[in-house]
Amino acid sequence: MLTLHDTGFSAPAALLARYGLNLIAVADGAPIPGSYWGEPEAGLIGTDVFARADTPVHSLLHEACHLIVQPPERRARVHTDASDSIAEEDATCALQILLADELPGVGRDRLMADMDAWGYSFRLGSARAWFENDAEDALAFLVEHGLVEPLPDPIDPHTMRVRLRRPPACA
């Protein structure tokens, strides 16, 4: 399982900052504030994502993506549990897979393998099978909310061909 010890905090912090989120490093062995699953899983409070060096990268991305898919006015009220609907949960999973490509040494292949190893449950049996064959609704949610854009024609909805939109730099 790839952890922040393996990747460092700098690249994930910069990625989260693009979306107006703060990555807060928690000392080794200390409790992680706002962790839904308990240590070493990432935690959420408002726009802060808490993680330790032993936090899995998939957990950090998953929790951060919960905030990214929400409207900004809801983010401030989040504490520990950010899930609002199945549509948001699915969009969160799809976005974490896409954002994994933005982190050096991670990438979607490694992230999906770690998701499966951790125990994410998809009706098609794996994160990859879901993402490549059954995530149309999740990607449509991300397009509708301006987080990704479809690639120019021809688009085959089964290939999940989308491009991340670059959020404006946060002040």
What are the extents of the domains in the chain?
4-164
- The pTM for the full model equals 0.89
Asked if pLDDT for residue 17 goes beyond 90, the answer is yes
The confidence band for 152, taking pLDDT boundaries of 50, 70 and 90, is low
In the chain, the largest separation of any two C-alpha atoms, in whole Å, equals 50
- How many percent of the chain have pLDDT more than 70? 88
169: nearest Cα among 19, 68, 67: 19
Asked if pLDDT for residue 157 goes beyond 60, the answer is no
Judge whether 118 and 56 are in contact, CB under 8 Å: yes
DSSP alpha helix (H) spans, the chain: 4-7, 10-17, 57-68, 72-75, 86-100, 107-118, 127-133, 136-144
- Mean of pLDDT over the chain: 89
Residue whose structure tokens are 């979306």: 19
The confidence band for 158, taking pLDDT boundaries of 50, 70 and 90, is very low
Higher-scoring residue by pLDDT: 162, 42: 42
Cβ count near 65 (within 10 Å): 28
Asked if pLDDT for residue 130 goes beyond 50, the answer is yes
pLDDT number for residue 163: 67
pLDDT number for residue 155: 47
135: nearest Cα among 150, 122, 117: 122
Pull the structure tokens for residue 9: 């905090």
State pLDDT tens for residues 99-118.
999 999 999 999 999 999 99
**Cα first-last separation, the chain:** 34
State pLDDT tens for residues 36-66.
989 999 999 999 999 999 999 999 999 999 9
Distances in whole angstroms, Cα of residue 40 to Cα of each of 5, 37, 117, 151: 12, 8, 15, 36
